[in-house]
Structure 1
Amino acid sequence: MTTIEDFQLGVTACLRSWSALRTAVESGWGGGERESQTKAENLRQSILELLDGKKHPSSCSEYDIADSLAIYMEEEFSVTLEDNSEQQVAAMIVKMYEGLFQGDGRLCQQILSSADGAIAFNTQFPVQIQTTEHDDEDDENMTDATGDAANASITPPPSAISQANRLDEPLFGAPRQPKPQLAPVRQLGETSSPEPAVEVDDDGFAPVKPKGRKRK
C-alpha cells in the first residue's frame, strides 16, 4: 500500500533528479543561489498542493502539468526547455499519483530505494536548455546534448539521494543543520543567582586559601 507521503517523497526525488532544474538552481539562474533554491522549493510545494491526494483524477492533466513546468522554468529561471524533459517529469509525477489511488507504490519506491533509479532518470533526459539569464553573444548561453561536458546531465550526489527520504530537507542545497544546544534561558521574573563576594585584604588582594593535606 502506498501513502501520500510516499508520493510526496517520490515527487521530491523526481525533481532532484531533473537535470534542467538542478542545472538552473546550481547555476543561480533564478536570481542567485538562495533565490534559485527558494524557487525550486516553491515549485515542489505547488505540485504537492495541487496533487494532495484528496481528489482523483486531478483537475490538471499530464499535459497541463508539463506546460506549467515549462512556463515556470522560463519565467522563474529564464530557461527554455528544448528536450521535452518537462513532459517526462510530468508523466512520472502523474503515474506516481495514479499509483497512490491504486495502492501501487512501486514507481515511488523505485525512485527512492536506490541512487541508480534517480540517476537513470536523470541521464535518460540530458540537458537541452537555452537560458536568457545572460545576454552574451557567445555560445555559453546554449546548452544541448551535443555540446561539451557542461551539457552533460548532472548526476545527483549521494547526499541528494539520501535527502529524498526527508520531506523536511531542502530540495537543493545543504541539509539543515541541527541547532546547537544553548544554556537554559532565565524565565521572566526569575532572579539570577548572585555571584559570591570575594573578600580582599587591606592591600586589595584576595587571600589564597591553603588546600588541606590529604590523609595517608
Structure 2
Amino acid sequence: MSEPLASVQGEGANLVLSDPKHQSRFELGVCMAVYQWDNLQTAVDNQWGGADSEDKRDWMVGSVVELFETSNYVDSDDIEDRLLGIMEDEFGVSIEDNTATPVAVSIIQLYKECAEGNFSHVDELYAKYQEKESKRKAGLLPVNKVQTEGSDEEDEDEEEGDDDEEMNDAPASSSSSDPSEPQGPIVDEDGFELVQKKGNRRR
C-alpha cells in the first residue's frame, strides 16, 4: 500500500485544536474544501442523495471533522476513504477519478495552517465559495448534469410521464428551477463557524 500524500499527528488523545478560533476556522476550511468538490456538487444538484442531499453534504463535513476529534493521527487516505464511502453509501455514486485525493490533501494542509494561526487559505476558499454561490443564485452557473447508472431509472420514469401527458412540445428544463439553494456555513463576525454533526455516522 502506498504512503499517504499527507498526514498529521498530535501529542494528545485527538487532534482538536486547543484554540477555539483555530478549531472553528479549520472546520470552516473542511466545509469549504468539501463544498468545492465538483463530484459532490453534482450529486447535490441532481439530488442523488434524495431530498436531503444538502444535509448529507453537511453531514459529510462533520464526519471528516470527526476523524480529527477521535484520533491523534489522520492521513489523506483516511479522509479520502471517508469521502468516497459517504458518496457511495449516501449518494449511490462510486467515484473512481481520484478527485477526492486533492480534497483530502487540502484538508490536511488546512489543519496544519490553522494550527499555526494561518487562515489565509481558509479565507481564500470561503471567498471563492461566496463568489460561486452568488453566480449560482443569479443563474450564471448551470446545474451540473452527469449521466450515471443510478439516474437511468429516473430518466425512464420521466420519459413515461412525458408519454402520458402527450405534450406537443419538449418539456422545459428544470435545471434552473430548483427552489432550494445550499445555505452553506454560517460564520459570525469573529470568524467562528460551528459544524453541525448528525447521527448515524460511518465508522
Bin for the TM-score computed over the shorter chain: 0.5 to 0.7
Q: Shift of the alpha carbon at 1:129? A: 7.2
For residues 1-216 of structure 1, the aligned pairs below 5 Å read 3-30=22-49, 32-34=50-52, 36-52=53-69, 58-115=72-129, 131-135=148-152, 163-166=184-187, 167=193
Contact 1:80 1:131 in 2 (8 A): no
Q: Indicate the RMSD between aligned Cα atoms, in angstroms.
A: 3.4
**Residue identity matched to 1:110:** E
* 3-state SS of 1:51 partner: helix
CA distance in 1, matches of 2:195, 2:109: 24
Deviations 1:5-26 (A, max 9, x none): 1111111122221111111112
* 3-state SS of 2:118 partner: coil
Contact 1:112 1:165 in 2 (8 A): no
Q: Structure with the greater relative contact order (CA < 8 A, sep ≥ 6): 1 or 2?
A: 2
**Unaligned stretches of 5+ residues in structure 1:** 120-126, 139-158, 171-216
- Distance change >3 Å, CA 84–CA 24, structure 1 → 2: same
Aligned residues: 136
**Unaligned stretches of 5+ residues in structure 2:** 1-18, 134-143, 156-180, 188-192, 197-203
Contact 1:163 1:169 in 2 (8 A): no
Q: Shift of the alpha carbon at 1:118? A: 6.8
* Structure exhibiting the larger radius of gyration computed from Cα positions: 1
CA distance in 1, matches of 2:147, 2:86: 14
Deviations 1:83-109 (A, max 9, x none): 311111101111001112233222112
- Distance change >3 Å, CA 37–CA 116, structure 1 → 2: closer
CA distance in 2, matches of 1:37, 1:116: 17
Contact 2:24 2:194 in 1 (8 A): no
The percent identity for this pair of structures is 28
**Residue identity matched to 1:25:** V
* Normalised TM-score (structure 1): 0.51
**Residue identity matched to 1:48:** V
* 3-state SS of 1:94 partner: helix
* Normalised TM-score (structure 2): 0.54
CA distance in 2, matches of 1:8, 1:48: 7
- Distance change >3 Å, CA 118–CA 9, structure 1 → 2: farther
